[in-house]
Structure 1
Amino acid sequence: MKLLQALFFPPEQPGGVSSMIPFFQERFQKPNWEMEIFSLPRRIRNKGQEQIEFATFDWHLYEENATVQKYIQTIRDYLWWSKMRLNQTYDVIHAHHPIAGWVLKQLFPNTPVVMTIHSSYERELILNGKIEEGGVEHRFLTSLYRELEHHVDQILTVSNSFKQFLSTYMDHPERIIVIPNGYDERRFKPISHENEVPQLITVCRLVPAKGLDILLKACAELKARNLTYVLHIIGDGPIRPELEELAEKLGIYDETIFYGYMLHPEQFMPFSDIFVLPSRAEAFGSVFAEAALCWLALVGTDVGGIAEQIDDGVNGLLVPPDDPMALADALEKVMSDPTYRYQLSRAGWEKAKKSYSLSRVVNQLKKIYLQYKRKPSV
């Protein structure tokens, strides 16, 4: 069976799709399976010129909006690049971005297209202060869900909470299949250790949606309680200067290390003790599973896919979003009790191994792909 895994940009960033798809290659072995990974190079800009029309809504109602114009041009570029590069047939195409799913179904109308919706671009834009809920951009982007439902053969998503979110915008949400992301355990090398000073770590893109302002305020509260720690922040993004300024203003700059982007944060995480990320929304939150596989105790917010990964008090702690005091209380509880921290981290590791193994994901996907396998013509 010949598969095409269609991404958006190349899998360079940690987390999510990049933590999973490149590691599929050896799991889909010849002679029974053949897999190709396809994506749009970041340098491709403003190449496509084709007219774009959707079957379920008229996007021209929104065409004066700059965000919509950019999105449509990206569709054109993906279409242009796909026509240039994809010149063979496939048994199944698995798309991992709405643009990829829509474009490839246009180009391969007779090929089954499975579409995984990994996250909500419009929710990210709202939380990052780029667009307004209910505004032009929001209405356009949410209209694409029904458009995808109309075209592709099967829609998957990564958590039950995100399936519920999508149900608002689709006619048949009961057809959505939930398959959480999976991870190759061989990438993670947990290290048994006990740091004298608790080491906190977070890994994410530095944008408002990740709630790092709340984390810094919680850490300032920890310092006010005379608790010692070091906070490691791995990742980069547009609000890094604001976060560094906030850390200085709160008097915790000496306790906080900003590393910037790191290609393989899983090689660094095992030396820390507690993974913390107070996101304001997460469809899944891949980095929590990765941190669990590194033997870290987990502290996260009670939102989206995070709440499906963490059983509060069993394999991590959950706090409300936008609540620095609650976050400080949770961190203090884990920091001050090494035995409890050990119990949480080992329970997190066991759940991640059982629920988010790459083998489990691959086996589930193989069953779906085989449902669409073409029968040989007589």
Structure 2
Amino acid sequence: MGRFHIVDDDTIADGGCTDIYFQRCEEILKQEEKNPQVTMEVTTTGMPRSPGVFCGLNDVIALLEGLPVDVDAMPEGSLFSAREPVMRISGRYSDFGRYETALLGFLCHASGIATAAAHIVGAAGGRRVYSFGSRRQHPAIAPMIERSAWIGGVDGVSNTTAPPGIPVVGTMPHAYVMCHASPEEAWVAFDRHAPPDVPRLMLCDTFGDEKEECLRAVTCTAATGVRLDTPRSRRGNMRSILEEVRWELDSRGHEDVGIFLSGGVTEEDIRTYRDIVASFGVGGAIANAPVIDFSLDIVSIEGEAIAKRGKWSGIKQVWESPDGERTVLLASASGPTGATPLLEPVIKDGVVMQRPETADARARVLRSIPNFRDP
């Protein structure tokens, strides 16, 4: 254990971050000289939201690379529903069994965040959405949170450790404003010194009425937007506040100044205010999203179909027809005419056949966003 209570990469890669019963039973199987050839599938029987967005495959590939296993999976960013296998692993059980804990952790958490982001982006109906919630989680996993949110369709993220290629956005906190003699001084200094490519988005609710501060901000700066981060305890009727701010800006010739809303924003808030708000900063609703409760279960031993109670036996394939309809069949069966098999080889006997590209995964979700929008 290092300075912080986090697990290092080598411990995860060596299978050292696992539930103890996997280690204990691995030792017993070794003593009994049992190590059957199995196929295991990753599925969920229940989801907080449907459809889900499959995410975290990149970490699973890094985890299983070099092990004597074959792995097939849906492409990252694919939609999935309950009981559809999103991944299957074939190999000798004891060669990969202890990795179940880390593998499921990678998929459950990342898929939960990507799923929440996609539903929120769909609810926004074209308004911009930014991930502002990494501070609600352990800092060690900030890159995963931001990558998953980006794949889920957000327009930018706030954490500086986001993987390369993801736009990092943000302007000013309340503490910055409070470090100056007045909000005007803070806004003018930001307008003067912030890099040219940073939007002139002024935080306008630190001390006074939202309408009042917004009008003062657009008077003394070249503001392109005003941000309201009003605590829920002081909001009152948020709809009325937003309408009042919009009216006063428009009536004074500032129709081009957008309103940015943050501070505990929920999916329902987005639906309620999307007709008047230009963009949203979303924190816990994305970063604290419920995980997808995936499990990893044996469906075949030594070539024979088998499953525990509540699971479906046999190695399966998911087929998608041109109209988007999904069909789950045994892998040995032919798919519907014109349908595409979704589980593709990603590892063959430990050798990586393909790695997911973040941009491709995001594009896959963005093409599917209509599936998340309100009717």
- TM-score grouping bracket, smaller chain normalisation: under 0.3
TM-score normalised according to structure 2 size: 0.23
TM-score normalised according to structure 1 size: 0.23
Bigger share in strand? 2
Bigger share in helix? 1
- Bigger CA radius of gyration: 2
Which structure has more relative contact order (CA 8 Å, sep 6+)? It is 2
